[in-house]
Chain A
Amino acid sequence: MTVQLNGVTKKYGNEFALKNVSFTFTKGKIYGLLGPNGGGKSTTLKLITGLVYPTNGTVTVSDEKVTRKISDKVAYLTELDMFYDSFTIKQMVDFYHSQFPDFSLEKAHQLLQDMQLEGNKKIRKLSKGNRGRLKLVLTIARNAPVILLDEPFSGLDALVRDSIVKSLLTYINFEEQTVIIATHEIDEIEPLLDEVIAVYQGHYIDHQNVESLREEQGLSVLQWFKMTIQNWESEKY
């Protein structure tokens, strides 16, 4: 499933969140949108999931123009927490199952087990790490063609990150799904990614294949990212 941004500009009031961005995300790859907060990463994901609409340009998912209805093709993990506190984990899973036809109960239960989450536990009583795990379970238990993860590791310790990475690698269907991860934590995520995009001040300032970066330029993603931002800044003045 291809996700396409064509000359997309997004303004919130007078502020530009994205400026004339064109990019194509192709099937079977894991993309990293990397950059500091406020650069346009979350806006990109919200545009793809139809939560906001472009001021100019178009966003399409497999040639279909994105509206709010695209949520049947796009699974989205927000940076916010959107759980009902009084629900148990199991009730939350059942709720998701009732909302999304592509939600796999089997996958969800397997994931809960892997992450050692107990179904009868109230969401209110979960630690921050377990809330983070549950968010991921609910997102990737869907067999959606496009998976968007907004800061999936934010505020979680190394152990939780590790279990999240392992679950992603185990349950993503690499032939069928496109995964886009927005994060400002570059180091942790590097071995997971195929392609990286530096998102800065509303622009996609560079795009690279992770292994080519190492092979042809001898750079880690973090080194490349710092260089790219520096070049961008020095060209501006």
Chain B
Amino acid sequence: MAKEFETSKPIYLQIADHIFQKIIREELKPGDKLPSVREMAVQMGVNPNTIQRTYSEMERIGVVETRRGQGTFIVENAEIITELKQTIQLEVISSFVKKMKDLGFSKEEMIASLKSYLERGEK
């Protein structure tokens, strides 16, 4: 299969996450055309109905738009892309913080350990 999926999350959302990641890394830019539903289905090895749901969901959030007869495009709206970046960043941070809290670390310890980890990584 083209891609492995986690068991606990709907596949259509995992594919949306995958596309969001590409947008954030700027592999996909505002105005870029996404593959057709069928092409994406073949690429991912999933049912086209699933991809249709992925695209509808991304359109609902406002990250992509469907142009009649032309396909699905990343919106040319810098605000929405920035918002998407912030939302996903926040998701990652909050899950990190929650896990650290569950382990009993204080805020100061989190910041200190994160700082030292990043400094070590940069060397």
Interface set of A (CB-CB < 8 Å, partner B): 28-30, 162, 165-166, 169-170, 174, 188, 190-194, 210-211, 214-215, 218-220, 222-223
Cβ-based interface call for B50 (8 A)? yes
| Whole-angstrom distance between the Cβ of B20 and the nearest chain A Cβ | 18
Question: With the chains together, A192 CA to B41 CA distance in Å?
Answer: 9
* CB atoms of B41 and A169 under 8 A apart: yes
Q: What 6 A-B pairs have minimum CB-CB distances, sorted nearest first?
A: A220-B7, A191-B46, A214-B10, A215-B10, A169-B42, A218-B8
Question: With the chains together, A222 CA to B6 CA distance in Å?
Answer: 12
| Whole-angstrom distance between the Cβ of A209 and the nearest chain B Cβ | 10
**Which chain B residue has the least Cβ–Cβ distance from A192?**
B47
* CB atoms of A211 and B42 under 8 A apart: no
User: Which residues does chain B contribute within 8 Å of A210, judged by CB atoms?
Assistant: 11
Range, interface on chain B? 20 to 34
- A sample of 21 cross-chain residue pairs with beta-carbon separation below 8 angstroms, ordered by A number, consists of A29-B49, A30-B47, A162-B1, A162-B45, A169-B41, A174-B49, A190-B5, A191-B5, A191-B44, A191-B45, A191-B46, A193-B47, A194-B47, A194-B49, A214-B8, A214-B10, A214-B11, A215-B10, A220-B7, A220-B8, A223-B7
Question: With the chains together, A53 CA to B2 CA distance in Å?
Answer: 40
Cβ-based interface call for B38 (8 A)? yes
Cβ-based interface call for B73 (8 A)? no
User: Which residues does chain B contribute within 8 Å of A174, judged by CB atoms?
Assistant: 48-49
Question: With the chains together, A194 CA to B46 CA distance in Å?
Answer: 10
Q: Which of A188, A193, A211, A223 neighbours the largest number of chain B CB atoms within 10 Å of its CB?
A: A211
* CB atoms of B1 and A214 under 8 A apart: no
Question: With the chains together, A174 CA to B45 CA distance in Å?
Answer: 15
| Whole-angstrom distance between the Cβ of B1 and the nearest chain A Cβ | 6
Cβ-based interface call for B53 (8 A)? yes
Given known pairs A191-B45, A194-B47, the reply for A165 and B7 (CB within 8 Å) is no
Partner of B45, one of A29, A30, A169: A169
User: How many pairs of A and B residues are in contact by the CB < 8 Å rule?
Assistant: 56
Question: With the chains together, A176 CA to B44 CA distance in Å?
Answer: 22
User: Which residues does chain A contribute within 8 Å of B44, judged by CB atoms?
Assistant: 191
Question: With the chains together, A169 CA to B47 CA distance in Å?
Answer: 7
Cβ-based interface call for B12 (8 A)? yes
Residues 47-83 of chain B: 1 if any A CB is under 8 Å from the residue's CB, otherwise 0? 1111001000000000000000000000000000000
Cβ-based interface call for B9 (8 A)? yes
Question: With the chains together, A188 CA to B46 CA distance in Å?
Answer: 11
* CB atoms of A191 and B7 under 8 A apart: no
User: Which residues does chain B contribute within 8 Å of A214, judged by CB atoms?
Assistant: 7-11
* CB atoms of A188 and B1 under 8 A apart: yes
**Which chain B residue has the least Cβ–Cβ distance from A162?**
B1
* CB atoms of A169 and B50 under 8 A apart: no
* CB atoms of A211 and B10 under 8 A apart: yes
Q: Which of A188, A191, A194, A215 neighbours the largest number of chain B CB atoms within 10 Å of its CB?
A: A191
User: Which residues does chain B contribute within 8 Å of A222, judged by CB atoms?
Assistant: 7
Partner of A170, one of B7, B11, B42: B42
